Structure 1
Amino acid sequence: MIETVWRGGALLGEGPVWDAAAGVLWFVDIKGRRVHRLSPESGRVDAWDAPAPVGWVLPAEGGVMLAGLRTGIARFDPLTGAFDHLAHVEPDTPANRLNDATVAPDGTVWFGSMDDGESERSGRVYRWDGRSVHATAIDPVVITNGPGVSPDGRTLYHVDTAGGVIHAVAIGEDGAIGAVRDFARIDPADGSPDGVTVDAAGNVWVGLWNGWRARLYDPGGAIVTEVRLPAANVTKVALGGPDLTTAYATTASIGLDQEARAAQPDAGGLFSFRVEVPGQRLPPARLAKGA
């Protein structure tokens, strides 16, 4: 059963992440330049304006948030609403923006960039160690998406959205990436792979843009199940709730014409459904003292 949790009509809802310490769900509207926080018990959704397109926010050490803005990495304090710049990412590529991120078991953050015009192969994958940004050797693509990390911290799932493929990438002890292999290829008729989330058993959830669904793969890359949603552009799933078995799916309304909006009036909303395998309890993102 699908529940419509929030009918906010986000232009580009993205980046849902469960904050286990606070018992809330964070997500963003990239094009709307807003950060949202859902309190499931009350159903209340609070919002903050961001100073630039915001690709993601993640709970960080010290009770604050780490945010990925078009202008780079920032420290976001929900108490004051302030965004404090920490690091540039691609100052020489102004047509790019940051798009999606996750926290690995060791607290490091993996995130990607993309061409905002969705045509140039300028999107790259990066790692944040709490103090600085490190570029990886993963080949650039037009749209990077959904970095997800396996429970043992040894595999990174990286999405090439325009290419229709989820890659599995080995992570070394020092954080360096190793061999890259295809994990799953998505038939264009099923939509384009967007954000991914890895559950406690190593299964991979992916949102399918223009696919009306979220899909679950087992660790070997075989399809386990699909969940149909009342919006075409499903961007990402987060696993939360007290037992981490409530799935929250963000969606987008951007680009829909009048007919499409009539067919999916809750596009851009937040939806939920129950799952059998719980999510991972992610640690707070590393944030060095003084950052």
Structure 2
Amino acid sequence: MELGEGPAWIDGALWFVDIKRDTVFRHDPASGELTRWQAPEHVGWVLPSATSGLIAGLRSGPHRFDPADGSFTRIAETQPDLPDNRLNDAAIDGEGRIWFGTMDNLEESATGQVFVLDQGAVTTTQIAPITITNGPAISPCGAIVYHVDTLARRVIRHRIAADGSPDAGEVFLDFNTEDRADWGHPDGAICDAQGAVWLGFYGGWAARRFASDGTLTHEVRFPVSNVTKVALGGEDGMSAFATSARQGLSEDQLAQQPLAGDVFTFRVDTPAAPPRRANT
């Protein structure tokens, strides 16, 4: 894959996307079958819906995706005045709302924002615009959203109010310290059943798990530099699946990383958080 992203364990299978090649994948570990669908635009993620099919984050906004016929039907348009922006990453909270971020596809302008899709309507949060949004990740209790500012190399923690709005937030993780200089950039984020945060690191050759107090608990190294996101699933929820990317690597780097763009798996000690479905 050019830019593997958005892994999610849905109904006994692993779903993921290649953003730059506009492709959705479903892998059934039991049979080994890999199915793919071509999207009409860049696609950042797919998540399960409680009403019908899947919700897919396409460049122009969230769409309903029907795997049976491969159709994508737009639910709402996002930032139509910014044609270089696209949807990038997403998570479902305890109320079934999808929190998703946009980003400048050229990775230059601070036009990326965090939105919420709730029962078919999209609203903008008050989280400050940045260039590349990642996550959001939602705690199992549903009270916290973790927002990744990839270029600033920080993760911000926001409390979610009763009305569903995030507070001003505070720095949860900062990777701009000397001892973390070679860790790369924090990328996709998820929370496990204990509320710890798993992060992929783009240019960092690793995925890392941080407890809810920010303590590093696990580091998993990979034979590829660009680790984009981790999903937890499998029969017991304790299999991890990590997507990666070839994007931006030179011919020499690709020769040294022949597995770049592949999906990797490993086992974890703490299972996935209980599954959620979107209310749209």
Q: Which residue type is aligned with residue 22 of structure 2?
A: R
Alignment correspondent of 2:191: 198
Contact 2:156–2:172 under 8 Å retained in 1: yes
Match of 1:224 among 199, 217, 224: 217
Equivalent residue number for residue 5 of structure 1 = none
2:21 corresponding residue in structure 1: 32
CA contact (8 A) 1:104 1:282 kept: no
Further displaced range: 78-87 or 255-264: 255-264
> Structure with the greater relative contact order (CA < 8 A, sep ≥ 6): 1 or 2?
1
Task: Give per-residue Cα distances to partners, 1:17-68, cap 9 Å, x unaligned.
Answer: 111xx20111110001000001011222110000000011111123401011
TM-score by length of 2: 0.97
Following superposition, the deviation at residue 188 of structure 1 comes to 3.8
Look up the equivalent residue of 2:236 and give its one-letter code: D
Query: What number of residue pairs does the alignment pair up?
Result: 276
Kindly state the Cα deviation for residue 283 of structure 1 after the two structures are TM-superposed: 1.4
Q: In structure 1, the residue corresponding to 2:254 is in which secondary structure?
A: helix
Say if 1:211 and 1:234, in contact at 8 Å, map to a contact too. Answer: yes
Q: Which of 49, 57, 62 pairs up with 2:51?
A: 62
CA distance in 2, matches of 1:30, 1:100: 10
Q: Read off the aligned partner of 1:141 and give its amino acid letter.
A: I
Moved over 2 A (4+): none
The question of 1:14 aligning with 2:35 is answered no
- In the alignment, what sits opposite 1:132? 121
* Residues 191-270 of structure 1 mapped to structure 2, 5 A cutoff: 191-270=184-263
Check whether the contact 2:228–2:245 (CA below 8 A) recurs between aligned residues.
Answer: yes
- CA distance in structure 2 between the aligned counterparts of 1:199 and 1:144, rounded to whole angstroms: 20
Structure 2 counterparts to residues 63-82 of structure 1, below 5 A: 63-82=52-71
Taking structure 1 as reference, are residues 269 and 240 closer, same or farther at Cα in structure 2, changes over 3 Å only?
Answer: same
RMSD: 0.9
Deviates more, 1:206-215 or 1:174-183: 174-183
In 1, distance between residues paired with 2:205 and 2:109? 26
Aligned pairs (5 A) from 1:28-177: 28-177=17-166
Structure 2 residue aligned with 1:271: 264
1:174 offset after TM fit, Å? 1.1
Aligned residue in 2 for 1:3 = none
For each residue in 1:206-264, what CA deviation from the matched residue of structure 2 results, as whole angstroms up to 9, or x when unmatched?
A: 00000010000000011111000111100000000011100000000112111111111
TM-score by length of 1: 0.93
Any stretches of 5+ residues in structure 2 without a counterpart? none
SS at match of 2:24: strand
Please, which runs of 5 or more residues in structure 1 have no aligned partner?
1-9
Q: Percent identity?
A: 46
Corresponding letter in the other structure for 2:222: L
Amino acid at match of 1:240: G
Paired with 2:13 and 2:51, the residues of 1 have a C-alpha distance of 17
CA distance in 2, matches of 1:120, 1:55: 19
What per-residue deviation string (whole Å, max 9, x for no partner) do you get for residues 171-227 of structure 1? 011111113000101234210000001000000000000001000000001111100
